[in-house]
Amino acid sequence: MPDTMEQRIADFLKKYPTKSFKKGEIIIFQGEAPRSAYVVKAGIVKAYNLSVNGDEKPVEFYSENAPFPGSWIYGKVPSAIYYYEAFTNDVVLSVIPREEYTDFIRSDKALLSDELERYVTSQLGNSMRLNALQHSRASDKLIYTLHYLALSHGKNVGQQLVEITLDLTHQDFANLTGLTRETAATELNKLKHQGVISYSKSMPYRLDVGKLINLLNDQYIADIQVKL
């Protein structure tokens, strides 16, 4: 996003109050009709669903400048279809009346184009997540999910080396892939021994993207370069 566009959004958000949340706090409950739109100023927000057994199924992670819940903001649903929860300890949100947010976005073609690009990119990420979940082998589910995370929540820290910016646990990987925690931990350990991923209690997950891509069985997916 161009600096001038970021400044326009920042100036717009200054007019509205903010609200802070600690990690694990629910921002919006599933089925709740939100009172306002939210835009992330700091931290990360997680959207998720619950299975009939009560298992968490993450849908998306929202970071700086991301609005939510989009389907409600643009009038497609009367209430939130997912839970929205603070994923980090430092979540700060701008609280904006829905109509004022949509009027602002629709007031300028550049803003509208940027919003469209945001949702197209989100759709691409969601399709990659779906593709990962459709694989039958646990190893493939994890490999394709790691590829998605590298594109959507990764930062370059060296040649062919990407650090995942989300503070994920083995249980989070299990929730993301539909595997048990034990299976997710086993598959992560296999990839660690192959040099595909490195991590420790004091170090975030780091991926050797070259080695990871070599494990993908779909060249078209491997060729995706866009930052999600």
Q: For residue range 117-129, what is the model confidence (pLDDT) as tens digits? A: 999 999 998 999 9
Q: Structural domain tally of the chain?
A: 2
Among 107, 142, 169, residue at a domain's last position = 107
Is residue 84 in some structural domain? yes
Q: What is the pLDDT of residues 171-180, one digit of tens each?
A: 999 999 999 9
d(CA 84, CA 54): 16
Whether residue 151 contacts residue 227, with contact meaning beta carbons closer than 8 Å, is answered with: yes
Q: Provide the token pair at 60.
A: 């998306």
Is residue 163 in some structural domain? yes
Range of the structural domain that residue 179 is part of: 118-222
Among 107, 131, 163, residue at a domain's last position = 107
Residue 122 and residue 211 in one domain: yes
Q: What is the pLDDT of residues 11-57, one digit of tens each?
A: 999 999 999 999 999 999 999 999 999 999 999 999 999 988 888 99
Residue 86 and residue 12 in one domain: yes
Is residue 227 in some structural domain? no
- Say whether pLDDT at 222 is over 70: no
Q: What is the pTM of this model?
A: 0.89
Q: Provide the token pair at 132.
A: 């990962």
Residue 90 and residue 138 in one domain: no
Among 107, 126, 157, residue at a domain's last position = 107
Q: Which residue has the tokens 């931290």?
A: 43
206: left (phi over 0), alpha (psi -120 to 50) or beta: beta
pLDDT confidence band for 228 (50 / 70 / 90): low
Q: Which residues pair with 20 in a beta bridge?
A: 92
Q: What is the pLDDT of residue 43?
A: 96
Instruction: Return the CATH number at 137.
Output: 1.10.10.10
Q: What is the pLDDT of residue 103?
A: 96
Is residue 228 in some structural domain? no
Q: What is the pLDDT of residue 99?
A: 97
Q: What is the pLDDT of residues 186-209, one digit of tens each?
A: 999 999 999 999 998 888 999 999
Instruction: Return the CATH number at 37.
Output: 2.60.120.10
Residue 47 and residue 132 in one domain: no
